[in-house]
Structure 1
């Protein structure tokens, strides 16, 4: 009798354990996104220039590049001075950033292959900070901008000539996808 009672208790305990593992009803999912615009939608109409109807998501990296023109400013040799061309580019970037106050960016500083690693890391940081200062002066909150220097570690051009070096002396404004 004692064995039968123990077996019954064991069976009940096992049933309770299994019942406790029942699947929970999944949480209700949000509605699916609206359908993508068709290829014939050229952005004409009231939403032109805003990302609406253009296939470009407002606040996205693609919209930033579309409206700012570029994410890159270039610098002279051994310089972190923002020239007039770079000022125009950064002003366009700042207009977009002011219009999208929730977007945070990273400014990357880059250098050409010449010079020591330490020198180029410091120069890359000065370049990124110069670009940041221009954005802040144009109304972008400084706490939305992170700065990082890659020195000469991430070239866009691999040649060892002036044209390649000029492409690598840059600051890049990185907007998340």
Structure 2
């Protein structure tokens, strides 16, 4: 009977260890969510004429053009914008994967999968993206603005949400009917 008891105790200890592991993982979710919410990634075109800032999930937060970039014409501006946009969205995805992996563990190899997917999609190597990721994590500030040309903001800042509408007076015909039923019972 002692062997059976030892086996039950061992099973219980394994169960407790797995519960502690889950508790440890969930304890970091708030910090991970905050880091993901604050995530920002910026990229600039090679000539510095276009700057794109993205947030979590690659959401575009800001786009800036210099006067020189605007003077190059629509086709050149479009090409520079799309390349810079891809770079900023890719950087955001890489950082997001790092944050998730830091908080949830490296069991899945998330960062490696993101790097492999981006290497294939962008036609580059995993090593090149890994070096970009190392640079991005050491310098998380936005690139400095060019002093030669003023920047022109393209996206407006998010407006504050409008206050909720006050409840309508009178309500619908159904509301009136229900109120009349209630009033008649009194």
Flag whether TM exceeds 0.5 (same fold).
no
TM-score normalised by the chain length of structure 1: 0.27
TM-score normalised by the chain length of structure 2: 0.26
